[in-house]
Structure 1
């Protein structure tokens, strides 16, 4: 037994674990969000058509969607520390290889680039379930929503860093630097994981007869309809999020004749406001309960905001922008509460699998939505796009499990 395994970590260590989880999530988000924003430089540097560029960039989300459940199962089997170390180290190593050998100067083509980005997404997807399970394991029932919401806020924060840094690096120093920097982020997060992320001291109470520590007799969340309902509701609530974040700039340019500043301002409000709303809802539900009720309420409000954007498509620009900004904030507000609830529903021994399932549905929607929106615009209108986003939010409300069914296994307090 190693010295780390023998060492006992007290309750205060939970904040260190949360910091490690935030760092891991932010490191992956910087890559996931930053590389697509290098699209202009990538298209010219790799000599890609617009269609080929869209396919290449979609490969990142496809890789995450394809791997999240697998990583969740592995997390429940081997623990969050091992999975995070494996995922972050391999992602950093792959990005380093890309910096050395998969740049335009190396003659890399669309097939190799798309494959590398898909694998990077698949490897980096390990952080979603593993860091979430670590946070859920260390924090008690009265703090989990707040802690998980902070971890989820690392996604827009890390993404903002990537969006700010990677396009500048690609334009000024080339793709060797654009890949090397997120590689360094991932490897630094892996080092922090190795140093500070450890399992809590196991309780003295032995497992029930006929069970093992890996399963403890709990039913797989993949075989529970209530868990699937929450995951699918989350997928529907992701539609307005990706619609606003991905297409606000194009809509304002094509329909309103506005420049990049107003679009950036709208998206920043949606991102930062959504991050603040995640923390607020997490803290509130820790104090008052009712995570499922909050998810349904946010879905209804997001639907109303996006319906307002549909109605106001032809209205003066400030009104349309306000509706889109509010819809974006609400579409970003539910993540922490949903991740907390689905992990609590599954129980400590199956939390990684449940978090992986939710991540899979969300990233699958994130992959499909940007492919569908241009088709809807081509055959209908932007008002239809926002109306469909509203409809997805409204459909999520009855699909999400209700509070009356909140019977679940609980985590042990640490």
Structure 2
């Protein structure tokens, strides 16, 4: 399996990138969504996160299914369901039905979030997991980059519903690759009953989940409002802005790989994660300051925020899987994803309301409080690279 595992990793990245474009792509067509449906920024932002609502509802259940039935069947089901409901959304011209289809597509996309990470970690040793998960976690910024590159022009020419068709069709195509290439990793036999006990008897894993969720707020603030901010505040072209943001997403993906390699070399996931959280606070504050002082600082800080705020994600995931162990990894990754996506779900409407009422600088100052709290919660001293159920009985 020396070479096959890298093919499995590649398919996992492609699968997650595809569903990420579907789940997180609607913010890139917010102007068209507002125009087509006559919605306010808050209303359009709420519609844009309906796939995340579905994702949130299914993460733990899909994780449990992966623990019990294996990754391959769960991944295949998720890709097919995401594509099918994405295409069904094209025929929905009532806002409620559209939102329901988007939410159901998001529900099936949750299968990929839970099962693909579990499959990747099952095929790599502890000294490679940071790199492997860093590569796997490039999927979200790559998917967001794909969405920013393809969805604005599709929406501009054919309406925002047409923009949904591309990731939906791609999901069905990738399902074929999953069936062809992915193999479930072997699960080591439990030596004692401790190997199968819950890792949640210890506070460490809960702290990883909480800190990771807090660090999502600046990430989704930046990804949700970057295009709208540059268009409305500095009068950039929506299509050109989407192209710039796609290039930035590639840099963000590289940041996740670099963070994974960093964690492998220092033998810690939490120390790099805490340093990234500090950097997130600083770039968000710089963006707020730039809005007052001039466009150049605002744009530089926005780009930095789009890169810095996503680099911690893989570290939280690999730490979660390592501490949970092979018998709890699917469920633990589901919990990890649930906390992060709960914050992702609330971030756009909450901060849209703040932006509408007080402007971007005040909203950014509030946003900076989230990673600041994350710095305090990250469990550097109590982290473990092995299952908590075994190391802390």
TM-score, with structure 2 as normaliser: 0.89
The answer to whether structure 1 residue 161 and structure 2 residue 146 are counterparts is yes
2:352 maps to what in 1? 374
Q: How does 1:394-413 map to 2 (within 5 A)?
A: 394-406=372-384, 408-409=386-387
2:277 maps to what in 1? 299
Q: How does 1:78-227 map to 2 (within 5 A)?
A: 78-99=69-90, 101-102=91-92, 108-173=93-158, 178-201=163-186, 206-208=189-191, 216-221=195-200, 224-227=202-205
**CA shift in 2, pair 1:252/1:36, >3 Å:** closer
The answer to whether structure 1 residue 276 and structure 2 residue 254 are counterparts is yes
Q: Would you say the 8 A contact 1:348–1:410 is kept in 2?
A: no
1:59 maps to what in 2? 50
| Alignment match of 2:286 (pick from 308, 316, 323) | 308
Q: What are the Cα deviations for residues 297-327 of structure 1, in whole angstroms up to 9, with x where unaligned?
A: 1101111222233334311221222222223
**Length, aligned pairs only:** 388
TM-score, with structure 1 as normaliser: 0.85
Q: Would you say the 8 A contact 1:269–1:325 is kept in 2?
A: no
Deviates more, 1:16-25 or 1:84-93: 84-93
Q: What is the rounded CA distance, in whole Å, between the counterparts of 2:373 and 2:69 in structure 1?
A: 36
| Alignment match of 1:333 (pick from 299, 307, 311) | 311
Q: What are the Cα deviations for residues 254-275 of structure 1, in whole angstroms up to 9, with x where unaligned?
A: 5555555885577456523321
The answer to whether structure 1 residue 392 and structure 2 residue 375 are counterparts is no
Following TM superposition, by how much is the alpha carbon of 1:394 offset from its aligned partner in structure 2, in angstroms?
Answer: 1.3
CA RMSD of aligned residues (A): 2.7
Following TM superposition, by how much is the alpha carbon of 1:279 offset from its aligned partner in structure 2, in angstroms?
Answer: 0.6
Displacement over 6 Å in runs of 4+: none
Deviates more, 1:238-247 or 1:380-389: 380-389
2:343 maps to what in 1? 365
For the residue of structure 1 that corresponds to 2:190, the secondary structure is: coil
The answer to whether structure 1 residue 240 and structure 2 residue 218 are counterparts is yes
**CA shift in 2, pair 1:171/1:322, >3 Å:** closer
For the residue of structure 2 that corresponds to 1:200, the secondary structure is: coil
Q: What are the Cα deviations for residues 64-122 of structure 1, in whole angstroms up to 9, with x where unaligned?
A: 122212211221122111211111112222223334x32xxxxx311111111111111
Q: Choose 1 or 2 for highest CA Rg.
A: 1
Q: What are the Cα deviations for residues 122-165 of structure 1, in whole angstroms up to 9, with x where unaligned?
A: 11111111000000001111111111111111222122223322
| Alignment match of 2:39 (pick from 44, 49, 52) | 49
Q: Would you say the 8 A contact 1:76–1:353 is kept in 2?
A: yes
Q: Give 5+ residue unaligned stretches, structure 1.
A: 1-9, 103-107
1:105 maps to what in 2? none
1:355 maps to what in 2? 333
**CA shift in 2, pair 1:209/1:400, >3 Å:** closer
Q: What is the rounded CA distance, in whole Å, between the counterparts of 1:35 and 1:309 in structure 2?
A: 23
2:206 maps to what in 1? 228
Q: Would you say the 8 A contact 1:271–1:329 is kept in 2?
A: yes
